[in-house]
Amino acid sequence: MKKKRSLWITLAAVACICVSMLFGSAATAKAEGEGQEYTYTDATLFVCGADGVVTAYAGDRNVKEIVVPQTIGGVTVTGIGAEVFKDMTELEFTAVPDTVISFGDFAFSGCSKLNTIYPYQPVLDSVTGVDTGKFVILNSEQNVGKVITLPTNLNQIGTGAFAGCTSVGKFAVADANAYFTTHAWDRAWTQQPNDNSGDEVVTNPKNTGEVLLSKDGTIMYRLAPAFHYTGNGLYNIPETVVTLLPYACEQVSLNGGFVIPASVQVIGDYAFYKCGNLNTVKFAEGSQTSTIGAYAFAYNNNLQKSDITDGASCFTLPTGVTSIGEYCFAYCQNIVIDISKTKLEVIPDYAFYESDNLHELQTPVTLRKVGAYAFYGCNNLNEVKFLGKTLEEIGTGAFKTCNNLHIVDIPEGVTAIADGTFDGCQNLNTIKLPDSLKTIGDNAFKDCRNIHEMVIPPNVSHVSKNSFAGANQNDIDTSKNQYIQKFVKAKLPDVGEKFTVGNLKYKITKSHKTKGMVALYGTKGKSLKTAKVPATIMYKGYKFKVTSIGNNAFKNCKKLKTVKLGSNVKSIGKNAFYGCKKLTGVTLNAKLTTIGNGAFTKCIALKKITIPAKVTKIGSKAFYGDSKLKTITIKSSKIKSKKIGKSAFAKINKKATIRVPKKKLSAYKKIIRSAGAAKSVKIKK
């Protein structure tokens, strides 16, 4: 008894549908010599262009079998167009006419149960030329199941044509096909002469194998996903291959791993995507691989090693790699990778997304950019080392939720930290930021709760109010950048705590959220030429009034020429400007009340000074030895007889003039003379 297999399909007619039928609505044809009868799929269910390419099929997409008619509406079928049978998950068997010369992009993509495609020729009556209702299956090897058999003259296979066809076990190609051949791991390749040129070309003596290749063997289209490898060790991709096309080894259920020959230059998108049992990929010595596409190794949870030399403990990319695609190693939860010796300039978006087992990363010296979310969710990544000096950009969320990241040293050249770059890095404690940095984005360090060392560089001029939301801000040093202090709120600092802003050093004298005070107690070095003391200063996000100039603060700053005190300074300490030999200009503020002992002693270039109206005390030797000081204006009427110290005006210029308030002329003459002013010094109103 003959076995009958029905292929029923319904297709809605669209603009270019060919409604005339070669076989009628359901013509039965017997496969010659195969002992099976098939029902041609209704031709009205296909949309066929004038070029013979089937562009749509809208029948029952849950059928198991389809036979594509050879002629639709009088047009000979020449191709199966893009996505025509995509995601028909119940489809197991397809027969196509041998007139087909092309399979379009994703033509059979996602047909997870598809295991057999046969080309056929209808048998015509030798006298009348009329279709006998029979057809001959071509190019098959004894009608073995789970074989994709290519039409004799097929010359084009589109991207991903067999992507997701996980039930395919083998490919068959007619020896006469000029464009494709196959390779089998247990069958050697031979060299045969090319009749046209006399040159030798690589050919496969048989027409079936698990690998579908271009005729010259340089392009690998597909490794049959359901192929069962029984050899020892890793599976060797043919040594003729130069390009692994997209989806070449996608979802191959191969135990162990692959050897990628040195000849391979390009690994296409999704090339090894979701190979569930893949744990090792060995790049042969002298690897020429330069490009690895998007998702190429994504979703390989067991992938661990890339042996360039046997025994390698991590996945090591070849030195010639210049480009990898987005999501290239995403969701590889056990991978430990070394990219440091490559020539990568860009780590693209999502490249290592949620690759949990990455521990330490060293980037190549050529790196210019880290893409958005490149290392998102790499929970065990603890240190990043940027080896080169070419890095310019770190993208949005690049290291987001890297919970064990501890140390980051961002090199000079980087100008911006994008939104969310280190968001959720709860154990990040040491961050070195470059002086080139100008922008810190929104949520850049959000919830970084263990920051212990970070200095905000002076050139940062843009920061979001949420840049450090939920982060530990107590140990963020903002002393080099007053602008950022309004955005960083640390724990209220203690009295006595010291910090430096610019070239001036400060010490906290009163700690308060809104009424804090500091004293300027020193300078950074002695080469300061000008000093402008601010009215307020920001530290750890809090504003402090600068209320005093401490003892010896500017002592012996021999290059200092001008000083202007901020509006909140009330006192100048002992010897504050002692020995400032080039000091010529001093502007004292209106709130000043006290000038300490020796405050301006031996300021030998000082020529004039005005003492503000609120001053109540001038210490001993305050202006002692200021030999060029010729003009002193005292506006204060509050100085009592014992509040100008001994020798306060001793050895100032002998021709000096001291002007005092009219009502204090008599009293001030006595106390100024007693404070060392020579008889030649004029004291007038």
- What SS3 string covers 376-441? CCCCCCCEEEECCCCCCEECCCCCCCCCCCCEEECCCCCCEECCCCCCCCCCCCEEECCCCCCEEC
Query: Higher-confidence residue: 207 or 212?
Result: 212
Neighbours of 143 (CB within 10 A): 15
User: Which residues are within 8 A (CB) of 340 and not within 5 positions of it... i.e. 6 or more apart?
Assistant: 362, 363, 364, 387
How confident is the model over 229-247, as pLDDT tens digits? 888 889 999 999 999 999 9
pLDDT for res 2: 34
Sign of the CA dihedral with 597 first, then 603, 607, and 612 last: negative
pLDDT for res 313: 64
Instruction: Report the C-alpha gap between 8 and 57 in whole angstroms.
Output: 12
Instruction: Report the C-alpha gap between 584 and 530 in whole angstroms.
Output: 11
pLDDT for res 274: 96
Query: Higher-confidence residue: 290 or 121?
Result: 290
In percent, the amount of the chain with pLDDT more than 70 equals 89
* pLDDT band for position 146 (cuts 50, 70, 90): confident
Q: State yes or no: pLDDT of 14 exceeds 80.
A: no
Instruction: Report the C-alpha gap between 290 and 308 in whole angstroms.
Output: 15
pLDDT for res 102: 98
pLDDT (average), residues 429-443: 96
- Using DSSP, state whether 674 is helix, strand or coil: helix
Instruction: Report the C-alpha gap between 505 and 15 in whole angstroms.
Output: 82
How confident is the model over 15-74, as pLDDT tens digits? 223 322 333 334 545 555 444 455 678 889 999 999 999 999 989 999 999 999 999 989
pLDDT for res 121: 85
Q: What is the average pLDDT score of the chain? A: 88
Least confident piece of the model among 158-162, 380-384, 548-552, 629-633:
380-384
pLDDT for res 30: 52
Instruction: Report the C-alpha gap between 659 and 8 in whole angstroms.
Output: 115
DSSP assigned state of 231: S
Looking at 205-317, list the stretches that DSSP marks H as alpha helix, in order from N- to C-terminal side. none
How confident is the model over 520-535, as pLDDT tens digits? 999 998 899 999 999 9
pLDDT for res 359: 87
Q: State yes or no: pLDDT of 554 exceeds 90.
A: yes
Structure tokens at 350: 């999502």
Instruction: Report the C-alpha gap between 346 and 336 in whole angstroms.
Output: 19
Sign of the CA dihedral with 362 first, then 367, 369, and 372 last: negative
- Using DSSP, state whether 251 is helix, strand or coil: coil
Give the global pTM. Answer: 0.72
pLDDT for res 595: 98
User: Which residues are within 8 A (CB) of 177 and not within 5 positions of it... i.e. 6 or more apart?
Assistant: 150, 152, 153, 154, 215
Least confident piece of the model among 20-24, 229-233, 394-398, 648-652:
20-24
How many angstroms separate the most distant Cα atoms in the chain? 146
Least confident piece of the model among 115-124, 126-135, 490-499, 569-578:
126-135
Instruction: Report the C-alpha gap between 621 and 644 in whole angstroms.
Output: 9
What is the pairing mode between strands 79-80 and 53-57? parallel
How confident is the model over 585-595, as pLDDT tens digits? 999 999 999 99
* pLDDT band for position 205 (cuts 50, 70, 90): very low
Structure tokens at 330: 């995403």
- Using DSSP, state whether 19 is helix, strand or coil: coil
* pLDDT band for position 100 (cuts 50, 70, 90): very high
Structure tokens at 605: 């270039």
Query: Higher-confidence residue: 309 or 629?
Result: 629
415: left (phi over 0), alpha (psi -120 to 50) or beta: alpha
pLDDT (average), residues 262-279: 95
Q: State yes or no: pLDDT of 193 exceeds 50.
A: no
For 69, list phi and psi in degrees, rounded to 5.
-60, 155
Query: Domains in the chain, ordered, with CATH?
Result: 1-228 (no CATH), 548-684 (3.80.10)
Q: State yes or no: pLDDT of 175 exceeds 70.
A: yes
Q: State yes or no: pLDDT of 206 exceeds 80.
A: no
What is the pairing mode between strands 617-618 and 266-267? unpaired
What is the pairing mode between strands 180-183 and 211-214? antiparallel
How confident is the model over 271-282, as pLDDT tens digits? 999 998 898 999
Instruction: Report the C-alpha gap between 88 and 85 in whole angstroms.
Output: 6
Residue located via tokens 């000082």: 606
